[in-house]
Amino acid sequence: MSKLSMIACMAVAVLATPAVGHPEDEFGGAARQGIATADYAQQAIDKLIAQKKIPRSWVSATLVNFDFRTKNGVDQYVLTYENSAIKKPAERKLYIFMSTTGQFMSASHSLN
């Protein structure tokens, strides 16, 4: 087999091999992470309700946005919930800040 034929065979073999650089893509990747993080954020809301820090109506709030940001050098997810039962427009949104590992960091009615 000539060198050119061998190189061509190797190139075909490499191109035909599936990429394994991002195995999370096979299982849903960011979508799976988003679902898990949203579940953790909901648990944080439930805890804030139990601690009487926010009204009970937040239990049925709607997740309207899921975003990623870096603030002060810290990567975090920002989940925005909306509660139409709240009368004050400035308090209808609740921002839940989560670490990239799914840990609750804080909650606020303003995006700070």
Largest CA distance in the chain: 79
Q: What is the pLDDT of residue 76?
A: 96
Judge contact between 58 and 68, C-beta under 8 A. no
- Please state, in angstroms and rounded to a whole number, the distance separating the CA atoms of residues 4 and 89: 71
pLDDT recorded at residue 110: 95
Q: Residue 59: its pLDDT value, please?
A: 95
| C-alpha torsion 25→28→34→36, nearest 10 | -110
Query: Which pLDDT value is given to residue 67?
Result: 95
pLDDT of residue 6: 43
Closest CA to 48 of 111, 102, 97: 97
pTM for the model: 0.69
pLDDT under 50: residue ranges of the chain? 4-32
Domain limits of the chain?
A: 28-108
CATH T-level topology, domain 28-108: Nuclear Transport Factor 2; Chain: A, (3.10.450)
Report how far residue 75's alpha carbon sits from residue 101's, in angstroms, rounded to the nearest whole number. 10
